[in-house]
Structure 1
Amino acid sequence: MRENMREKILKILESNGRIPFEQLAVMVDLSASEVEEIIRELEDEKIILKYSAVVNWEKAGLEESVAIIDVKVAPQREVGFDAVAQRIYRFPEVRSVSLISGDYDLSVSIEGKSMKEVASFVSQKLSSIDGVLGTSTHFILKRYKVAGVVYEDEYEDRRELVSP
């Protein structure tokens, strides 16, 4: 039963990390103090890692260059891809690192002030790591949906009707 409550609370917090304990308690049929205790446990167990906001930086006029870099790695004896992944995720520009299937081994998401800064990161920092065999960089040109949030609610068709 308690595991079920934890899952319900996690799903609600994932969609709205700012929901008050009192409102959350009503939604899961517990007291606010019980909800607070469960959330504290989830934080202590490192199940809840961070609360954050989804920001449309383009709309705020503070957009940065974002790239997804596929990385080919030579796995190391006894640690596989983990050692290289750890070296990569320690850079402050790096937002995420994931082990992936396919032609490449790691997917790395980074942010920089410009495309040139991202390119410099790839050529000077990422490519120089022992075990990195190759990269393929993909720049994000436009975001439509991030973390389950749609950036623009409605698409407006701006094409003009042409009749024969």
Structure 2
Amino acid sequence: MTRHLLVPGRGIPRPDHWMRRWSAAHPQYMWAPEPPGPPLILADRVAALHAAVSESDEPAILIAHSAGCITTVTWAAHHRGPVRAALLVTPPYVDGFEPEDSSDLPWVVPRSRLPFRAVVVASRTDPYTTFAQFEQFAEDWGAELVDAGDVGHLDTATGFGPWPQGEQLVDELR
């Protein structure tokens, strides 16, 4: 059996956000970590993801949105564990971002090839990342790039409560 770990972005996903909907529809999906609010401390998020991945020898699929993608690739640069694949949905381009907490890890996005299969979902109209930056992430991480079209940041604000195409991508990663 494969575990599914939801890696949230910076804020708390609204009740109608696709990640919340998936969590409600699939009680076996676990948060890694449970969605906190700001501030986003990357070191804490990476530690929480490591604890969740290490909890079992059962393989996991990581499902990350926004800053959760940065958590995921940072984890992969420093740790190993039973991860089968990752769905990286609209990772933000944060080079040069100053952490909100001076004790945090530097926000330098790892650019090395991921040690597991990955899919980067890219938007043509994301306010945080250009399509060319998504393409570079996918190339650097050795990930497949999925062009989702004009979907903004693929969040509640851009109309993504339900996201059946995302569920199909997760099914393809199993």
In the superposition, the TM-score normalised over structure 1's length comes to: 0.23
In the superposition, the TM-score normalised over structure 2's length comes to: 0.22
